[in-house]
Every structure is written in C-alpha cells, then in structure tokens.
Amino acid sequence: MSINPEQFYVFKNLDRNQIDTFVSACTEVIIPPKEMILTQYGDSHKIFFLVAGKVRVFLDTPAGEQEISRNKAPTVLGEISFFSGEPNSANVEAINEVKALVMPFDALRQRLAEGDKISSTVMFNMAEAIAQRAYGLIRKISDLYSEQHDAQLSAIDSSTKNIFRDWSFW
C-alpha cells in the first residue's frame, strides 16, 4: 500500500525510508463496507493506520446508537486503547472499502522496548494528536459553559468533573 507521508500525521518528521521500514512491520488489510473494525468495549489489541476509505465512529448508549464522527483516511484507529490499556472506547464501521495497515499492540511495544526510533516518533505523533483532541474537548466544554442556561450548566459541570477527575499525572 502506498502512503503519502505528507498527508499522514503519524509519519511527521520521518523520511520515506523510515516510513517504509515502519510499514514493512505492518500487515495490509482490506475491510469491506459495513464491517466492524473496532467494537465498543472490545479488545482488538491492534492499531489500524487507514490509508484509504471512510469509517463511521459511533457509541452504543442507553438512548440508542449515537454517531460521533465520520473519518476518512489518513487516520489512526485503536490508538486510545494502546495508550490507555482500556477496551475500545467506540465502535468503528467501514463506510466503504477501507485499506489499512495493522500492527498488533505487542509488536509495537516490542519495537519500542528495543529502542526503535521510528516507532518512537510514530508514538510521539499519535500522543500529540490525542493531546490536540483533548485540547479541543476542553475548548468545546468552555464553549458549552458560555452558551447554556443555568439549568443545563449543572449537568455540564457534573459531567466535566467526571471527565477530568482522573486526568492527574501525579
């Protein structure tokens, strides 16, 4: 599978040879439309680097299925579970045919343990992307506080405290 490094954030600061080295450790897969790639609360133990196609990210909730987003390649799936050690946080379904590179968590951890600088750069880039998402979430919460009426602020306040109570790095 051909990867355009300029379009794939996780390969930032890597040259073509380094990208090819990393990609050679992955398995290429083609996922048909409507197939589940990740299942909420499931343990896939893999990171998916989508190089072509579109996916739908959604949650199963007591109120029914709630779509979070639709994403297209290039993107990464499974990275939150890799970093957190927790089960998948959402369902991901292929909208159309998806081409992806897959690396099992154990293989990636082994590469990191061996001091592989390419894998370390990819991990740093993923962590940076997750941090940017967290920043966006905080900005959205701030916007909600400024837009909501008093009755709704209590619910937002409670939810915000639940979200961020475990964010300590100490």
Positions in the chain short of pLDDT 70: 1-6, 148-170
Could you tell me if residue 20 is inside a domain?
yes
Residues of the domain holding 27:
9-104+116-164
Could you tell me if residue 3 is inside a domain?
no
**Secondary structure (3-state) at 26:** coil
Question: Cβ neighbours of residue 93 under 8 Å, at least 6 residues apart?
Answer: 34, 35, 36, 37, 55, 56, 58
Could you tell me if residue 63 is inside a domain?
yes
Burial class (CB within 10 angstroms; exposed 0-12, middle 13-18, buried 19+) of 64 = exposed
Given this model, what pLDDT does residue 169 score? 44
Could you tell me if residue 67 is inside a domain?
yes
Given this model, what pLDDT does residue 133 score? 78
Could you tell me if residue 31 is inside a domain?
yes
The predicted-structure confidence for 43-71, as pLDDT tens digits, reads as follows 989 999 999 999 999 999 898 999 988 99
Could you tell me if residue 76 is inside a domain?
yes
The structure tokens 């964010």 sit at: 167
The CA distances from residue 37 to 109, 111, 126, 161, in Å, are 21, 24, 19, 31
Round the average pLDDT of the chain to a whole number and report it: 85
- How many structural domains compose the chain? 1
Asked if 49 contacts 74 with a C-beta cutoff of 8 angstroms, the reply is yes
Among 80, 39, 34, which residue's Cα sits nearest to residue 54? 34
Angle subtended by helix axes 150-164 and 117-147, to nearest 10 = 160
Q: What is the CATH number of the domain that holds 19?
A: 2.60.120.10
Could you tell me if residue 35 is inside a domain?
yes
